[in-house]
Structure 1
Amino acid sequence: MIQSLFSRTDSFIMFLSVLLLMMMMVSWTEAGYTGIVFSHTSKDVQGNSFTVVLRYKFGYSSCAEAESFSSCPGCSKKIDESSGEWCLREYTTWGSQSFYSYYYGYIGTWINNRNGVSSGVALMYIEGRKRSDINRPNSSPKTGILPVMRVPSNCPRNISLLTFDPDGDHVECRHGSNSNECSTCTPPSVLSLSSSCSLSFSPTNSSDEDSYAVQLMMEDFPSQTINMTYYDGSTVSINSTSSMSRIPVQFVFKVDPAAPSCIAGEYLPRFLPPTPEHGAQFFINVTETIEINIRAEATQSVITELLFSGPVNMTKSSSGSGNFTLTWTPSDSQNDDKESHPICFVVQANASSSIYQSELRCVIVRVGNISSIATPSPPTTSYVVVLQLKISTTLSLKDNKDEIEKAIKDELIRRGLPPDIKVRLLSDGSVKVNN
C-alpha cells in the first residue's frame, strides 16, 4: 500500500500514527512483494513552492497481484515482467509543494526469503527545503534494479548500482537500519555492501541457495556547506556529512544452483558491442525517440529474453537471439521533461532447467534542456556520456574536419552541454568530448 506522508519532520507522532494505520491496511496482503525503488525530482520553483515529481517502481510475484495491491487500482503502469517470477510496475504522481521535508512510503509483505524478512517497509525521505547552491529543492539520486537478481552459487558477482545524482551530489548506500527503513533489518549473509553502492557475492555452499530480501538506502550528500530555506523563510546550514534525500532500493537476490562454468559468454550471457557501458548517459528532447541497442552471447545456453527496468511506455524488441532494442519516447503526460531517467537491464538465458543472468547494466536518459537541471559548482562527479544524434553534411571528413567538429559541438551545446567543451573527431569516426 502506497501512502503519501505529508507530515513535517517535526510532527513525528503524527507520522507514527499514519504508519501504524498503513500496517493495518496491508495486513491482508499475500506474500508476493519483490522490492521497490523510489525517486523524486524538483522542478519549476515559484515563490516558496515548487513542483515535485514522485516515482516508484514496485515488483510483485505477478502482474495481477502488483495491480491489486495499490490503493489506486489502474493508476500504475506495467514496465516489464519475467513470467511466473515477477512483474514490475510504476506509479507516478506530481504536484505543488511548499519548502519542507516529509516522508512518502509503502508497507507490504515480502516473498519467502532466507534472511527472515516478512514485512516490507520502504519510506523515502524527501528533502523539500530550497538549497542555496542550486536555488531549488533537492532531487534524489537516480538508480534502478530488477525485482529479482540471480547468480549461480559457485560464481562471483558484483552488482554496481547506478549512483547518478541530478544535482551532482555525492551518493552513498547502506543497509536499512531503523523502523523507517525496514521492519526486520537483517542484511543478506551472502552479500557484502560498499558505501559506493556495490554489492559483492562470493561463491558459497549449496546450502545457501535461496532467495534473500535486500533492503538498502541510497543517500546524497552536498559537496560543501549549504543553506536550506523553509517555506516560512527560516534557514539552516548543512555540511557534506549531512545526507539529504534518502531513497529505498529493495529487491530479491536469488542464489541459484551451481553452473557448469562461471565464464561470461558460456552459460552466463556476456554483453557485446554496441551495448552501452554501465553509467552511460543519453541526451534527448521530449519529442524524440531513443533506441538503445543491446547485444549478448552465450555459447552453452540459449538466450531467451531481455529484462529491464525503465520509464513507463518503454518497449523492447528482438531481432534474433541475443539482439535486443529498447525504445522510448518521453511524454509530457508523464512529466518526463527536464528529468533524468534510469534504465537497467540484464539478459537471461536457459540451459536445461537452469536460468542464467548476465551482469546488470544501467544507463541514464536525460530529457530536455540540461542547463535547466542545475549542478553545483564545482561538480563532484564525472560521467561517461553517450549521445544519440544525427548530423547530416556533405563535408569531407578528410578535408573539413574542423567544420564537422564545430557542427558537432554546436549541436552538443544546444542539447545542454557547457559551451566550453572541446570536441575532437578521431580517425575511426568516433567523437571525443572533454570539459
Structure 2
Amino acid sequence: MRYRLLAALPLAALMVVAGALPAQAVPDVTNPFATLAAGSEPSHILVNGSGDIFTLNTGNESISKIHPDGTFDASFHAEFPSFSQPNSFVSNGRGSLYVSSYLASTVWRVDEATGDVDSGFEANLGTELAGELPESVTVDLFGNIFVATHSPEAVVKIAPTGDVVGRYPLAVGSGPVDLTTDSFGSVYTANAADDSISRLEFDGAGAVTLSERYAELGSGSMPISLATDGPGLLYTANSGNNTVSTVDLSKPAGSAAAVTTLMPTDSYPYDVTADGQGNVFVTNLGTASVSMFEPDGRFTSVVAQLSSSETPEAAAVSQAGQLYTANALSSTVSRFGLAPVITSGALPSSARVGDVYSATASATGLDRIVYGIVGLTPPGLAIDATTGVLSGTPTTTGTFTFDIAVSNAAGQAFETVTLTVDPALGSTGCWFWHEACGL
C-alpha cells in the first residue's frame, strides 16, 4: 500500500512538492461508449462500486446494465409496466437499485445483479404512494429511502423493508422535483415552483426538523436538480435563469445564502452530480456539454463536449474518474476519462554517473496535470511537474526504485520505475583501488 500517503495529498500539495505549475492534458474520449436500443432515451445514469453503469431508460421503461468494458450484461433484465413512467433511480451501495415511477405512483427495488424486482419490498409498500406521483428517489447512508411526491407535495420516508415510516408535508405550491441526502442524514429537496431548497434534519431518535425554505435561490431560478459534494456544499441546476447555485450546508436555516454562478449563454443546466473527490458536474442541454466545479471553487465551463444530437440529460462519475453521460436523443452513453492515465509506457531503465539522463512521462486526463515522485530518485535527477520530464545528471551508482505520480482534480495514477545507475566510463567503481572491484 505504498500509494496511501500520496493519495491523501491534495493537488496543491503535489504542486508544492514538485515546485512547478501543472501540465496540459486532454481526457480520453470514447463516444459512443455504448449504444442502447433505439428509442431507449436514457434520462438517468449511475455507476456502482464495481464500475458497472446503469441507465434508466424512459423511452422504453427499462434499465440497462453496462460493464466497464462497454459490453451489455445480457443476463440483466429490468423492465417496467407500460405507461408507468419511471423517472428517477438510485443505488443503495449494497446491491439494490430503487426506482421511482411517476404514473404508477410507486417505488420498485431492483437487484443490481439480475434486474429482478423485489416482490417482498413491493408487497410491503403496497399502495402507500397511490396517486401521489413520485418525482424523485434517494437513499441515505443507513439504507432509508426518501421520495419527493407531487400530490401532495411531501417527502416520504420508506424503510429498507418497503414499509412507510414517515411523511413530511412541504409547503403547498413548492413543487419538489428532486432530492438528495448529505453525510449527516439530512434530506434536501429542490423546489422548482417556489425557487427554494427545503431541508429535513433527523436526530438520533428519528424526530425531524423541517425547514421549508432552508435556502432561497431567487425568483425565477426553478431548481430542477441538486447534489451534495461531500465536504458540505449543495449545488442546484437552475433551469429558469441559466445558473448553478451553491449553498453552504453548515449555515442555519434562513442564513444559507446561495452563491450563484451564471452559466455560459444558452447552457440550460439540467442535471447535477458529484464524484468522490468533491467535484461537481453539471450537464448542459443547450450546449450539449458538461461543466465542472472543483472543491477549491474553480469552475471549468466545458470538461466534456458532445454533439447537439446527443443531449446529455444526466452524468455519473466512477471511482476510477471516468465521466459517463446518458444521451437521450441518440440513446447512447459517452465516456470521458477525466482521471489521469499514464500513456508513456516504461521509461529507460539505465543511466550512468556523469551522463545526462532525460525521459518523459505523459498522461491523458483532465487539465491541470501535475507530475511528482514517490520514493527516492537517483541523486542528481528530478522531475518537472509541468512537463513530466525526469532529467538530470546522476551522481551515485546503484539501483533505485520509485514511482512517478500523476495527479489532477479527478484522481491519481502511478507508474513504478526501476533505474540502474552505472559507474562513469573509465571508472573502476571503487574510490580506493585502481582496478575494477565488482561493480
Q: TM-score range by the shorter chain?
A: under 0.3
TM-score scaled by length of structure 1: 0.24
Relative to total residues, which structure has the larger helix share, 1 or 2? 1
Larger radius of gyration: 2
